[in-house]
Chains A and B, each alone.
Chain A
């Protein structure tokens, strides 16, 4: 009797299409969640920054959403939105909000007051002040938030396997159910999920460096 190898490379080779499809789904669910999360968090954060009294309630709500266990949330949503991408995204987007709002507000609050004062004194309108001074200068903190949100979303996407999505998380579930070679499926899912997180983080870090040359140059002197 031959010992079964821990990793069944043959199986992986035969199922590359399936794995690629799941990886694509993983990326898509993550990008969608982070982009929608940012689209919601940004205007909310700008308001919370302009009206400091809003900050407490806003982060409170986002914080409560953040504490809901993901399994429970998807189970709760099932009767309403079914086994759909919508169900997955409601959860995934919800979990990005606290991180993104907090980081954007922190970034905006860190914009040097003298730069804002000078900008207003030189004739920047409120809109120009936001887009040409506040946002670029808040970018390091925003990008930091974006990186955390992206990495944690990539992990969380695997949970949506329970509602028929899950990206590479599908491999965990199938492995547990012995539909695929168990060890191979689980290890592969783990490696792909972690690899994706590391790659996304590196990509965003690279983008941050390109977008913000002044932070690099200043650190050098």
Chain B
């Protein structure tokens, strides 16, 4: 979808080129993160794709056509653009800001209004916000408007330069999650510049790790970069806790959970004791028709004949199939029993995860 071949950029008066002989292929519908230290030319590369910066040499194609032969103004209207500082127009309302590119493209008023409402809903912007000016919004709202604006004419390609860097970490995490969901539905081809490797790991289908001069040190899916960094530079850049970071990429549903000790309320107490012994636990899960009622321990069973006579206590914490292994790990190390119970909505029992099971996943 986007292909850069042998692209170089030397700024006037600069001793060395900011970007030297850069080549990268980006497939349709994938989000590629360009990550690197400052001076790695990542923003320069991004800005060459919509010709805000003209390459000194090389070839850039978007959707199969040479962008250097296109009118830059028309080219840019077909490419979504989001920058760190967002750059909302202070003199235009939220609705007018979102309508910017549709207006430039000459859409009719009704169509623009409809599209603005659609995007407001997609980005969870209240209708009442639409008539406000950017200065009247919170940082997170501004960021949402900036991304909504970039999507206004539904461009197949988007360029995003640190789009979530200007907000605090809590809001940033939420915006990242929201955008990740939206992207999973829209499948835009996105070039995403960031200096934060964790953001790249979270958002990207593939990551290009760039060194000074835009040398591509490693271009691969996040999981692969974490598992087998191409060289020392990549390893250092990815930083410590590679194993933990990889766990964040794997969902509980991606791996086989263990059944764990399970009994039904009708089972005799001896059955529960056998199950505990088998797993080496001092508790069992009580399940009725697949539904998780809670757990009983040795003490609760004393003097009872069936499990049902004992009161099943609810688990204080559990993980869902949608959680990451990193969250499951957190649940394990903070639980008294060193086990994470996997259940859907706290009801339907799926199994258990142990430390051993997760560490097998890291080593694999």
- A137 in contact with B91 given A114-B83, A118-B81, A120-B52 (CB within 8 Å): yes
Give the number of residues in B that approach A within 8 Å (Cβ atoms).
29
The tally of CB-CB contacts under 8 A between chains A and B is 76
A116→B81 CA distance, assembly (Å): 13
Q: Is the CB of A214 within 8 A of B91?
A: yes
Chain A residues with CB below 8 A from B150, complex form: 122
**Is A133 in contact with chain B by the CB < 8 A criterion?**
yes
Given contacts A214-B133, A217-B135, A218-B135, contact A121 B73 (CB under 8 A): no
Cβ contact within 8 Å between A217 and B90: no
Knowing A214-B135, A217-B133 are in contact, say whether A123-B73 is a contact too (CB < 8 A): yes
The verdict on B76 contacting chain A, using a C-beta distance below 8 Å, is yes
A136 interface residue per 8 A CB criterion: yes
- Of the candidates B83, B88, B136, the one whose C-beta lies within 8 Å of that of A217 is B136
Residue-wise interface mask of A (96-118) relative to B, using a CB-CB cutoff of 8 A (1 in contact, 0 not): 00000000000000001011111
0/1 string, B75-86, CB within 8 A of A gives 1:
111100101011
By a CB distance below 8 angstroms, the chain B residues around A133 are 89
Instruction: Give min CB distance, B244 to chain A, whole Å.
Output: 35
Given known A-B contacts A217-B136, A221-B135, A122 and B52 have beta carbons under 8 A apart: no
| Interface size of A as a range | 20 to 34
Partner of A114, one of B87, B100, B135, B136: B87
Which chain A residue lies CB-closest to B146?
A118
Q: How far is the CB of B8 from chain A (nearest CB, A)?
A: 22
Given contacts A214-B90, A217-B133, contact A124 B85 (CB under 8 A): no
User: Taking CB as reference atom, which chain A residue is nearest B131?
Assistant: A217
Q: In the complex, which residues of chain B have a beta carbon less than 8 angstroms from the beta carbon of A218? A: 90, 133, 135-136
The reply to whether A118 and B88 form a contact with Cβ atoms under 8 Å apart is yes
- Chain B, residues 53-78, CB within 8 Å of chain A (1/0): the string is 00000000000000000000111111
Q: How far is the CB of B112 from chain A (nearest CB, A)?
A: 14
**Can you list 22 residue pairs at the A/B interface with Cβ under 8 Å?**
A114-B86, A115-B88, A118-B83, A118-B88, A119-B87, A119-B100, A120-B76, A121-B81, A121-B87, A122-B76, A122-B81, A122-B100, A122-B104, A122-B150, A123-B78, A123-B104, A136-B91, A214-B90, A214-B91, A214-B92, A217-B133, A217-B136
Closest 7 CB pairs between A and B?
A118-B87, A218-B135, A123-B77, A121-B81, A114-B85, A114-B87, A123-B76
Interface residues of B (CB under 8 A from A): 50, 52, 73-78, 81, 83, 85-92, 100-101, 104, 132-133, 135-136, 146, 149-150, 159
